[in-house]
Structure 1
Amino acid sequence: MKIAIAGFGALGARLGVKLQTAGHEVTGIDGWPAHIAAINTNGLTVIHDNQAPRKYFVPVMTAQEVTGEFDLIILLTKTPQLDRMLTDIAPVITKKTQLLVLSNGLGNIEVIEKHVARDQILAGVTLWTSSLVKPGEIHTTGSGSIKLQAIGHANAKPVVDAMNQAGLHVELTDDVLTAIWHKAGINSVLNPLSVLLDANIAEFGTAGNGMDLALTILNEIQKVGALQGIKVDIAAIMSDLTNLLKPENAGNHYPSMYQDIQNGKRTEIDFLNGYFAKIGQQEDVPTPLNMMITHLIHAKEDIERVKIAKQQETFEI
């Protein structure tokens, strides 16, 4: 299968390597020049669970440079940049191309529907993790899984089979929206709290009131979900959170929001806690903790971006 991965950062690179190793023709699409140059020049370095580094050679290019046709495009672009990415890669999307969105957050399906027919859209959630340490190098831990659903009437089985050949543990579901909200609940706990507590997932688990904070966040999300006709299973989310704390799963991982903050990037907080806070405000459902977390993350974004700018000025002098 000919596959493009739009958003070839930490997670995109991990999935790309596994798909390429299984024999698929993989092309990465990304917007970070240093990352693209490092991979195309020296290969992608992958360090898994403190094992010896391994090199993989996957062609990576910008959205403006990519050409040809693809059977599948996996979208891992963050929600705020998704519309722009789809616009830029429109020339390589045919009516036969299936688009699988695995990006965190809510609202992705609505964005994709502006660009392609519903029968081309697959939506999913993933528990695979990865960390982008520097341009051209990722660190990976544990294993993961993916749940996906065809939004229209497309046949998702070829995609599921291809991804399972790569050991990606993909399962078809007929209720992906519930799964997406489930994952958004997990991310709304681990992503912002890892930033605010300066902790990886396992370290978050050592916080005496960590799970109390998680429950408060999830209780607010559950109330918002009820307004949207979505059942948010708090017990199931808490069970997954507990499993993710283990080092053999994702305990040693720093979530993507932590990585974004460290790199001076804007986060996807408005499509996680901020999304729930916004809906709650519109529907007169109190979501004070999600609202506060959203404000704190935006403040942290500003602080870190100023720090990085000052460091760059010092370096240039």
Structure 2
Amino acid sequence: MKIAVLGAGAMGCLYGGALAEAGHEVWLIDVWKQHVDTINKNGLKIEGVSGERIIKDIKATTKPEDVGKADLVIVFVKATLTGEAVKGSVTLIGDNTTFLTLQNGLGNIEKISEVAGRERVIAGVTAHGSTMLGPGHIRHAGQGDTSIGELDGEITERVKTLSGMFNEAGFHTYVVDNVIGMVWSKLMANIGINALTALTGLQNGQLLEFRETEELLELAVKEAAEVAEKKGIKLQCEDPVEYTKKVCKLTAANRSSMLQDVTNKRTTEIEVINGAIVREGENLGVPTPINKTLTNLISVIQKSYN
């Protein structure tokens, strides 16, 4: 299968690299020219929980038009850039192109659908963690399940095909009939982990080592769960707080994407994670003071970058 990975950050490289190893034609698309050039010259270096290796049979480019038509486009750009990135990649779309979003936050499905059409979009979540170490070099920091599904809950041949393909590439993948609930469930973990790690500099697992951060995690997730309930979202996790703590433990050594962003003075996804809960809460009449505080603090950090 010809696969284009839109956004070759740590997670895009992890999935793209493994799929290339499994024999697929994979193109990594990213704006970071040094990263792209390094991959094309030296291959993609992966280390961490899945072993150390250099993947040579993979292509990278800064120009989507270099790829041609893709069978599958996996969207891994930051959620704040989704709309712009997909609009700039319409040359990837052929008659049977499918888009898969495994991104964090809310709004990605809608932004992709506006450009490509909702019928092309499959959504999913993953519990894998990955860290960018440098151009062409990532660390696979944590493993977990991947779940994908059609937006309407139907179990189709294309989603079963993708699940099988991901399993063959080493990602333990399930097909689910409530992928929207899965996206919101993953959001719970992002709500509890990302902003707190970015503010404290702690690894995911360390949040549970301090009563103060554990309490804030619990309060932020409870607010988000109340918003989901009011909105009529059926979460896939029975206890969102315990689910978030489980994710902390499974990815204990991981430095969250938001912590990596703040460390490198990049724009974070705060507005589509905690900020999205604040906006949804306002619309539904659900108070979200903890998420408002976390959103404001991260926003101030972003504004203070030199």
TM over 0.5: yes
Q: Distance in 1 between matches of 2:21 and 2:253?
A: 25
Closer, same or farther: CA 32–42 of 1 in aligned 2, 3 Å: same
What is the match of residue 223 of structure 2?
220
Q: Distance in 2 between matches of 1:278 and 1:222?
A: 14
Q: Distance in 2 between matches of 1:162 and 1:290?
A: 37
Asked if 1:292 is matched to 2:304, the reply is no
User: Could you give the per-residue CA deviations for residues 115-144 of structure 1, whole angstroms, max 9, x where no partner exists?
Assistant: 123221101111111000112111112322
Q: Which amino acid aligns with 2:252?
A: G
Q: Distance in 2 between matches of 1:299 and 1:118?
A: 35
- Which structure 1 residue ranges, 5 or more long, are not aligned? 307-317
- Which structure 2 residue ranges, 5 or more long, are not aligned? none
Q: Distance in 2 between matches of 1:132 and 1:67?
A: 24
Q: Distance in 2 between matches of 1:234 and 1:144?
A: 15
Asked if 1:92 is matched to 2:95, the reply is no
Closer, same or farther: CA 294–64 of 1 in aligned 2, 3 Å: same
Q: Distance in 2 between matches of 1:204 and 1:285?
A: 26
Residue 168 of structure 1, CA deviation:
0.9
C-alpha contact 1:201 1:254 (8 A) present in aligned 2 = yes
What is the match of residue 11 of structure 1?
11
Q: Distance in 1 between matches of 2:125 and 2:22?
A: 21
The SS at the match of 2:46 is strand
C-alpha contact 2:64 2:91 (8 A) present in aligned 1 = no
What is the match of residue 107 of structure 2?
107
The SS at the match of 1:31 is coil
User: Could you give the per-residue CA deviations for residues 211-267 of structure 1, whole angstroms, max 9, x where no partner exists?
Assistant: 221221122112211231113477533333333333xx3111001111111221111
Q: Distance in 1 between matches of 2:300 and 2:135?
A: 26
Residue 24 of structure 1, CA deviation:
1.2
The SS at the match of 2:211 is coil
What is the match of residue 275 of structure 2?
274
Larger strand percent: 2
Residue 56 of structure 1, CA deviation:
1.4
Q: Distance in 2 between matches of 1:174 and 1:250?
A: 26
C-alpha contact 1:66 1:89 (8 A) present in aligned 2 = no
Q: Which amino acid aligns with 1:31?
A: V
What is the match of residue 132 of structure 1?
132
The SS at the match of 2:103 is coil
What is the match of residue 301 of structure 1?
302
C-alpha contact 1:219 1:234 (8 A) present in aligned 2 = no
Asked if 1:118 is matched to 2:151, the reply is no
What is the match of residue 27 of structure 2?
27
Q: Distance in 2 between matches of 1:261 and 1:133?
A: 15
The normalised TM-score by structure 2 is 0.93
The SS at the match of 1:114 is helix
Asked if 1:253 is matched to 2:254, the reply is yes
Asked if 1:168 is matched to 2:171, the reply is yes
Q: Distance in 2 between matches of 1:49 and 1:72?
A: 26
In the TM superposition, 1:73-84 aligns within 5 A as 73-84=73-84
Q: Which amino acid aligns with 1:161?
A: G
Larger mean Cα displacement after TM superposition, 227-236 or 142-151: 227-236
The normalised TM-score by structure 1 is 0.90
What is the match of residue 314 of structure 1?
none
Closer, same or farther: CA 93–163 of 1 in aligned 2, 3 Å: same
Q: Distance in 2 between matches of 1:36 and 1:175?
A: 36
Number of corresponding residues: 302
Closer, same or farther: CA 110–220 of 1 in aligned 2, 3 Å: same
Q: Distance in 1 between matches of 2:243 and 2:122?
A: 23
C-alpha contact 1:105 1:272 (8 A) present in aligned 2 = yes
Q: Which amino acid aligns with 2:38?
A: A
